[in-house]
Chain A
Amino acid sequence: MSSEIASAYQQLKETSQSRWTDLIQGDKPVIMVGTATCGRAAGALDVLESIRKTLGDDHQDIPVLEVGCIGHCYAEPLVIIAKPGGEYPPLLYGYVTPEIAQLLVRDYVFGEDPSLEFLLGAMETNELLPSMNDLPRSTYEHYIILENCGRIDPDNIDHYIATGGYGALAKSLQMQPENVVEEIKKSGLRGRGGAGFSTGAKWQICRDSESDYKYIICNADEGDPGAFMDRAILESDPHSLIEGIVIAAYAAGTQEGYVYIRAEYPLAVQRVTKAIEQARQSNLLGDNIVGSNFSFDISVFQGSGAFVCGEETALIASIEGRAGMPHHRPPFPAVNGLHGKPTIINNVKTLASVPRIIDRGADWFSGIGLNATKGTTVFALAGKITNTGLTEVPMGTTLRDVIFEIGGGIPEGRQFKAVQIGGPSGGCLPESALDLPIDFDSLRDAGAMMGSGGMVILNEDDCMVDVARYFLEFTQNESCGKCTVCRLGTKQMLNMLDDITKGEAKLEDLVTLEQLAHDIKAGSLCNLGKTAPNPVLTTLRYFRDEYEAHIHDKHCPARRCYNLMAYYILPEKCQRSCDACVGTCTVEAIYQGKTGIKVIDQDKCVKCNTCVEACPPQYNAITRISPLSELPEAMPPMEKK
C-alpha cells in the first residue's frame, strides 16, 4: 500500500511540475500581484489591469499571477517581478500605482532597469540588494503558517504541488493514523483559535469515540473585528489548509469535512471553493485519495454573519440549519457534535500548521516557541501602528517586540497608550504589560486573551472608555439571547458605559459595573458571555483614572467622546485669508467671525474631523476641547457691509 501511495504522489508531483514549468516557461519574467482583499482595497486590481495593458498583445506569454497577501499590508498594492537568469533575485515593489506599474513593466520587464526607487526589498537574500530578510523585523519573525502566503498562486494547485505541497499528506497516508495523531501530540501543537487546547488530544478523543460516521470542521468564521489572518490564509494559501484538513481527517478517522467561512469574506469563499475543486480533480479529495484506501471530501459552508457562530457548538447548530445558539459542553463536539456524531473543530491556523509539522517532524516544531506553548503565532496588526499587516512570531516573543520592532511603533510621533488584543473577548493592555512574553496563559493572567490574534494599537487620541463601550456594544449586539445574564447584563453594562461617555454617571456606578461584569462571566454558558466583560474589566484595571475623569470632571482625556468634547478654532493661529476649513466642512458649520478669523457653529458641528485634516499644517489652528465648560464663547459673525 505504502509504495503505491508514494508512486501515485510522485506521479502527481511530476505532472504538476511539468505543467507549472510550461506555464512559467523557465527564462520568461514572471509578474505577481497581491490581490487579496487588502490589496484590492488599496487598488491592486487597477494595477493588475495596467500591467496587462502595458504588456499588450505582443507579450501575452509573460505570466501575470494573482497571489495572496504577503503580510506587508501597509505597502499595498504589492508587485513581485522575477526575472530568471537575470542579475537580480525576485524583487518586491510596494505602494504601486497603475502608473508605477506601467513604468515597472517598461523599464524592468522589457528593459534592464530594476527601478530601485520603488523597491521594497528583494525576496531572497543576495549580495546586490537589501532583501526583505534583512529588515530588522525579520530577526523577530518566524514564518511557518504564513510561509506560502503571497508567494504562491492560490488559484493554481500545480504551483503548490510543484513546491512540495501535499507531500505531507502522502507521507501521512503511509503512516498508521494513530502514529499521525502521536506525531501531532508530540509536536505540542495547541489550537490557534484562542483557547489553546491540545490539537493532538482533540483528535485522539474523536478517534476513540465509537461511531460509524465522523466529521471535521475547519472554523474559518473569523468574527473578531480587527483580526484578518484567517482571511489572508484562506485567500493566499488555501491548499495548505485543505492538506491539513485531509491529514486531520485521516488521523481522526472522519469521513466528511466542512470549511465554515463567513459570508463577509466572498473572495475567501471563492478561492477555497476553487481549491477544493482542483484537489478533487487531482484525487487529493474524494475516493481512494492518492492511491490509498482512505476516502474523504470537503464542502464549503457559508456563515451568515453571526459572531457567536465562532463558538463551536453554535457553529454546529448553524450547519444543521438552526439559529446559532451554543449548548452546554460536555459532551464536547469531539464526542457528540454535528448531527450527533463525533466532530473535530479546528481553527484555520491550526490546520495550516499540520502539513508543516508532518513534513518536517514534531521535533522541529517543538523546538520553536516556549515550553508550554510550542510553535509560532500569527498576529494581525492594525490601528495606530506604522506597519499594519500580518506577522508571525515564535510563542514567547514580547508584545513590545511585536509592536515596536515589527510594527514599527506609533506613527506621527504619537504616544503608545494601549494594545487591544484578542478582539471582543480580549482586553486592553497598557505600556507596563508590554514586556509580557506572548502565550495563551500569560495573556489570560494579564486579563486579556490571545483570541484569534488580532492586535489593535491605540494611541493617546483614543479614549479607553469609548473602546470598552465599542466592544460591549458589539458583544451586546451579537449575544444570541440564550442566557439571561448575557442578554440583559451586557445591555445594562452598555447603558452604564453610555452614561459615562456622556458624563452622566456617578462614581458608584463603577462598582456596579464591575459587579455586573463578574456576574456575567459567572453566569454565561459560552465564551461569548464569559469573556464579554473583559474589555471593560481590563480598562477598569489599567485605566481607571480615565473612567473617573469622565465621571468627575466630565472630561474625556483623549477628547474623543462625542458628548464631552467640541472642536474649536484657535483665534491666534487661524489665518484670515485661508478658507480651507469653510470649504471642506460637510455641514457648513464654519463661518467668518467678526475679526475675520473662522468660527465653528457648535449647534451645527457634527464633529467629523474634516476641518482638522483640511487646516494647513503650518497653521494647525483647530483643536479639540474637553470638558465643554472650557470652551470659549463663540465670536459673533462678521457684519455684512
Chain B
Amino acid sequence: MTDFPPEITKEEMGKVSLFLSNINSTFSKERSNLIPILQEAQNRIGYLPHEAMLGIAEFLDIPDIDVYSVVTFYNQFRLNPPGKHSIRVCMGTACHVGGGTVIMDAWKRRLGIDKRQTTPDREFDLDTVACVGCCAMAPVTVIDEEVQGKISPTRVDGILLGYQIERKKESQSS
C-alpha cells in the first residue's frame, strides 16, 4: 500500500453520497452482497474512499473493519483516486520472461511514480495485473481496458507521446 490516501474532493464526495443514497434500490442488506457493492461503488466513484466504506458498513450493519479487511484483501479494490487513464502492466509468466519488469520500469521511469500510485496531475495511475490471459502477445500492458500487446520501452514512450499530443490538441481547441 502506498501513502495515506489524499483528501476526498467535493465532486467525489457528491458521488459517494449519491451512491449511498441509491444503494437501497440495487442491493439487499445481505453480507454476501459486500463484494458486489464494493465493485459497484468503485465503478461509480473510481475508488473506495473512507467515507464510502463507512457508509457501506452502516448499510450492511457490519463492523467497519470487516469492510476494510475485504477491501485490502483483494487486489481489485483501490484506496487511491484513479488517474484519467489507468495503466496496468501484466506480470504474468509469459510477460515476465518476455521482459515484463523492464516494461514496468519503463512506465515507472516515464511517469515518475511507483506501482499503485497516481501522477500528481491525476492523468495516469500505474499498477500491475497478475495475468490478463493474452500470453501470446507478451509483454502486455492494459490501458483503460484496452490490451496492448508486444510492448517495448520505446513503445511506452510512443504511447505517452500520443496522450501528450492529444492533450495539447484538447487545450488548443478549448
B residues engaging A (CB < 8 A)?
A: 30-36, 38-39, 66, 69-70, 73-77, 91-99, 102, 105-106, 109, 129-138, 140, 145-149, 152-154, 157
- Determine how close the nearest CB of chain A comes to the CB of B94; give it in whole angstroms: 4
The listed residue (A319, A323, A470) touching B32 by CB distance below 8 A is A319
Contact (A606, B105) CB under 8 Å given A37-B132, A266-B145: yes
Shortest beta-carbon distance, A611 to chain B, in Å?
10
Q: Can you spell out 28 A-B residue pairs with CB atoms less than 8 angstroms apart?
A: A37-B147, A42-B137, A76-B136, A223-B130, A225-B93, A225-B130, A225-B131, A226-B94, A227-B133, A263-B39, A264-B130, A301-B36, A302-B36, A304-B38, A304-B74, A305-B74, A318-B35, A323-B74, A383-B97, A383-B135, A388-B135, A456-B94, A462-B97, A470-B96, A584-B154, A587-B109, A606-B105, A613-B152
B75 touches A388 (CB 8 A): no
Give A542 Cβ to nearest chain B Cβ, in Å.
17
In contact, A322 and B97 (Cβ under 8 angstroms): no
In the assembled complex, the CB of B111 is this many whole angstroms from the nearest CB of chain A, namely 13
Closest CB-CB distance, B96 to chain A, in whole Å?
Answer: 5
B-chain residues with CB within 8 Å of residue A608 when the two chains form the complex: 102, 105-106, 153
- A226 vs B100: C-alpha distance when bound (angstroms): 13
Given contacts A40-B146, A227-B131, A467-B96, 12 further A-B contacts (CB under 8 A): A232-B133, A264-B132, A304-B35, A304-B38, A304-B77, A320-B31, A382-B93, A383-B93, A470-B96, A474-B130, A586-B153, A608-B106
Alpha-carbon gap, A225 to B92, bound state (A): 4
**Which of A231, A458, A586 has the most chain B CB atoms inside 10 A of its CB?**
A586
- List B contacts of A318 (CB < 8 A): 35
- Asked if A609 is an interface residue, CB under 8 A from chain B, the answer is yes
Say how far A71's CB is from chain B's closest CB, in angstroms. Answer: 10
A305 to B130, CA, bound (A): 8
Interface extent on A, as a size class?
35 or more
The answer, yes or no, to whether A597 is at the interface (CB within 8 Å) is: no
Interface: A9 (CB within 8 A): no
CB atoms of B131 and A226 under 8 A apart: yes
The yes or no answer to A533 lying at the interface (CB within 8 A) is no
Q: When chains A and B are docked, how far (Å) is the Cα of A608 from the Cα of B105? A: 8
Q: Please, which residues of chain B bring their CB within 8 A of the CB of A226? A: 92-94, 131, 135
**A465 in the interface, Cβ–Cβ < 8 Å?**
no
B35 to A467, Cβ gap below 8 A?
Answer: no
Provide the bound-state CA to CA distance between A321 and B148, in Å.
Answer: 33
Also in contact, A388 and B136, with CB within 8 A (given A456-B94, A467-B97, A608-B106): yes
Central interface residue in B38, B131, B137, B138, by most chain A CB within 10 Å: B131
Contact with B along A563-588 (1 / 0, CB 8 A): 00000000000000000000010110
A586 touching B109 by the CB < 8 A rule? yes
Query: Given the interface contacts A306-B73, A323-B73, A382-B138, does A607 sit within 8 Å of B133 by beta carbon?
Result: no
List A residues 315-355 near B (Cβ within 8 Å). Answer: 318-324, 339
Contacts of B130 in A (CB 8 A): 223, 225, 264, 305, 307, 474, 478
Question: What is the bound-complex CA distance between A304 and B66, given in angstroms?
Answer: 16
* Whole-angstrom CA separation of A225 from B138 in the bound complex: 12
Is residue A109 within 8 Å, beta carbon to beta carbon, of the partner chain? no
Contact between A454 and B134, CB atoms less than 8 A apart: no
Judge whether B153 and A610 touch: CB under 8 Å. Answer: yes
Closest to A610 in B: B153
Partner pick for B147 among A40, A320, A458, A471, CB 8 A cutoff:
A40
Structural contact, A324 and B31, CB atoms closer than 8 A: no
- Enumerate chain A residues within 8 angstroms of B92, measured Cβ to Cβ: 225-226
Question: What is the CA–CA distance of A320 and B32 in the complex, to the nearest angstrom?
Answer: 4
Query: A228 — which chain B residues lie within 8 A by C-beta?
Result: 131, 133-135
**What's the nearest-Cβ distance from chain A to residue B124, in Å?**
17
Query: In the assembled complex, which residues on chain B have CB atoms less than 8 Å from the CB atom of A305?
Result: 74-76, 129-130
Asked if A38 lies at the interface with its beta carbon under 8 angstroms from chain B, I say: yes
Residues of chain A with a CB closer than 8 A to B32's CB? 319-321, 339
B93's partner among A388, A454, A478 (CB-CB below 8 A) is A454
Question: Considering the chains assembled together, what is the distance between the CA atoms of A47 and B156 in angstroms?
Answer: 23
Choose among B73, B136, B149 the residue that contacts A382 (Cβ–Cβ < 8 A).
B136
B23 to chain A, nearest CB (A): 15
Q: Are B133 and A321 in contact (CB under 8 A)?
A: no
Residues A610 and B134 in contact, CB atoms below 8 Å apart: no
The reply on A384 being an interface residue by CB < 8 A is yes
- CB closest residue in chain A, given B147: A41
CB contact between A231 and one of B77, B106, B133, B149 (< 8 Å): that residue: B133
Q: Which residue of A lies closest to B69 (CB)?
A: A323
The answer for the CA separation of A305 and B145 in the assembled complex, in Å, is 15
Measured CA separation A540–B70 after assembly (Å): 37
Q: Count chain A CB atoms within 10 A of each CB in B32, B66, B98 and give the residue with the most.
A: B32
Q: Which residues of chain A are near B102, meaning CB under 8 Å?
A: 607-609
Smallest Cβ-Cβ distance to B38: which chain A residue: A304
Given contacts A225-B92, A321-B31, contact A73 B131 (CB under 8 A): no
Q: Would B74 and A456 count as touching, CB distance under 8 A?
A: no
Q: Is the CB of A380 within 8 A of B135?
A: yes
What CA separation (Å) do A134 and B77 show in the bound complex? 48
Instruction: Report the Cα distance A533→B137, complex, angstroms.
Output: 28
Query: Taking A41-B149, A42-B137, A228-B135 as contacts, is the C-beta distance between A420 and B154 under 8 angstroms?
Result: no
Q: Which of A421-470 contact B (CB under 8 A)?
A: 423, 454, 456, 458, 462, 467, 470
Residue among B66, B76, B135 making CB contact with A263, cutoff 8 Å? B76
Report if A265 contacts B (CB, 8 A): yes
Provide the residues of chain B in CB contact with A339, threshold 8 Å.
32
Which residues of chain A are near B131, meaning CB under 8 Å? 223-228, 264
- Assess the B134–A41 pair: CB atoms within 8 A: yes
CA distance A324 to B145 in the complex (A): 25
Q: Does A389 reach chain B (CB closer than 8 Å)?
A: yes
Q: Please indicate the chain B residues that have their CB under 8 angstroms from the CB of A420 in the complex.
A: 93
What chain B residues lie within 8 Å of A160 (beta carbons)?
none
Output the least CB separation between B34 and chain A (Å): 4
Does A416 make an interface contact (CB < 8 A)? Answer: no
A395 contacts B by Cβ under 8 Å: no
Tell yes or no: A480 within 8 A of B by CB.
yes
Query: Which among A37, A41, A307, A456 has the highest number of chain B CB atoms within 10 Å?
Result: A41
Contacts of A613 in B (CB 8 A): 152
Check: A222 CB closer than 8 A to any chain B CB: yes
Q: Which of A306, A389, A458, A587 contacts B136 (CB 8 A)?
A: A389
With a cutoff of 8 Å between Cβ atoms, the chain B residues found around residue A383 in the complex are 93-94, 97-98, 135, 138
A74 at the interface (CB under 8 A from B): yes
Write the chain A residue with the least CB distance to B103: A608
B97 and A456 contact, CB distance less than 8 A: yes
What residues of B have a CB within 8 angstroms of the CB of A454 in the complex?
93, 135
